[in-house]
Chain A
Amino acid sequence: MSTAEPAAPRSSRLARAWRFVLELWDVLLRPSSVFGLGVLVLAGFVAGVIFWGGFNTTLELTNSEKFCTGCHEMRDNVFAELKSTIHFSNRSGVRASCPDCHVPHNWTDKIARKMQASKEVWGHLFGSINSREKFVDHRLELALHEWARFKANDSLECRNCHSAESMDITKQSPRASVAHQRFLFTGEKTCIDCHKGIAHHLPDMRGIPGWQ
């Protein structure tokens, strides 16, 4: 008898919750007797706008350089390295920010990447790369992830700005012109095959194809 005593309130709470769910289900299934159809449609529309707007605003907020560099892991390592490269500082002042290269622009892929990024939040909370030493130790692993992603989507994030069709090879240096005609235009290689380490410092490149 004494053992059943503590179990009793828990089961009753569970039962109450279950009853509430059933009642809610009943309410949702029954036609409204208080609000008119027009009011419900309008309210639903307004709520939808607010929800969708809020969702996209939050998405955009987490898709900004300010958000990315809010963590010291990003600000002190990869962002600091980006600053001296052509993707941050150049003659025309057009520049790439973090999500331009690291988040797909297409909606479905973007959401998939955002879900993957929850692991990065975990990494931040548990400090998996919270010092320069830890970051450098993980650099190869992190770089391999990004290279694999670029390789798999044919360097899509590069091509969002750098289109092969718009590339005027007569304006390129002879070396670049020859290489692009031979490897890029034929589809033999994709951007990331040759352009590793253009925005951040490289990890240990031993064993990486094309490197010594």
Chain B
Amino acid sequence: MVRKPVILLLAILAIAASLPASAQTVSSALRGATPLNEEGPAAPMTPMRNTAEREIRNYPEQPPVIPHSIDGYQIDINGNKCLSCHARARIAESGAPMVSITHFMDRDGQFLASVSPRRFFCTECHVPQNLITPPVTNDFVDIDTMLSRASPGGRR
């Protein structure tokens, strides 16, 4: 007997809460003003960064990003275009950085004679960069900056 008005009250509250939400348009930097139940227009494709200048890593374990275009580079069972320049034996001619020695290691930490099969598919970790203004701001600071901040209790 007592529960019935409670249920009624909850139902009214639920309806009242849903009313403004349905009229509201959720806007975000990534989606734009497109309603959540619709698919917005695709953003135009942007040019690829192609300066070939090496970029510093944001943290030690970060796979270095690819500073050049890789359009049409074949990486499959037959061949790996990236290794035409980045392989150990190819860097003298190409001047490209050699694939890291960690890529020669199998999952048990044993070093192989050439790039380990599990590290063969470069673009699983290394990606080229497009020239865009990020729609979402990022306030990431690397560890060196963090440690050098003169904050109470922090390392100087």
Give me the interface of A with B, judged by CB distance under 8 Å.
Answer: 85-86, 173-175, 178-179, 194, 197-198, 201-205, 208, 210-212
Contact = CB atoms under 8 A, between A and B. Distances in A.
A85 B72 contact: yes
B79 A202 contact: yes
Contact of B79 (A85, A173, A174, A204): A204
B74 interface: yes
B119 interface: no
A212 B80 contact: yes
Contacts of B7: none
Contacts of A201: 74, 78
Given A210-B90, A211-B84, A212-B83, A174 B74 contact: no
A203 B115 CA distance: 19
Given A173-B52, A174-B52, A198-B72, A212 B84 contact: yes
12 contacts: A85-B72, A173-B51, A175-B52, A175-B68, A179-B94, A194-B84, A202-B79, A204-B77, A204-B79, A210-B84, A212-B90, A212-B114
A176 B3 CA distance: 77
Contacts of B77: 204
B114 A86 contact: no
Interface of B: 50-53, 68-69, 71-72, 74, 77-81, 83-84, 87, 90, 94-95, 114-115
B74 A197 contact: yes
Question: What 3 A-B pairs come out closest when comparing CB atoms?
Answer: A205-B79, A212-B83, A173-B50
A87 to B, nearest CB: 10
Contacts of A208: 79
Given A86-B72, A208-B79, A212-B83, 9 more contacts: A85-B72, A174-B52, A179-B94, A198-B72, A201-B78, A204-B77, A205-B78, A211-B84, A212-B114
B51 A174 contact: yes
A64 to B, nearest CB: 25
A197 to B, nearest CB: 6
A179 B71 CA distance: 17
Contacts of A203: 78
B130 to A, nearest CB: 15
Contact of A173 (B68, B74, B115): B68
A176 B84 CA distance: 14
Contacts of B84: 194, 210-212
Given A86-B72, A202-B74, A211 B52 contact: no
A86 B70 CA distance: 13
A173 B50 CA distance: 6
Contacts of B74: 197, 201-202
A208 B87 CA distance: 14
Contacts of B90: 210, 212
Contacts of A212: 79-80, 83-84, 87, 90, 114-115
A85 B71 CA distance: 9
A151 B48 CA distance: 32
B45 to A, nearest CB: 12
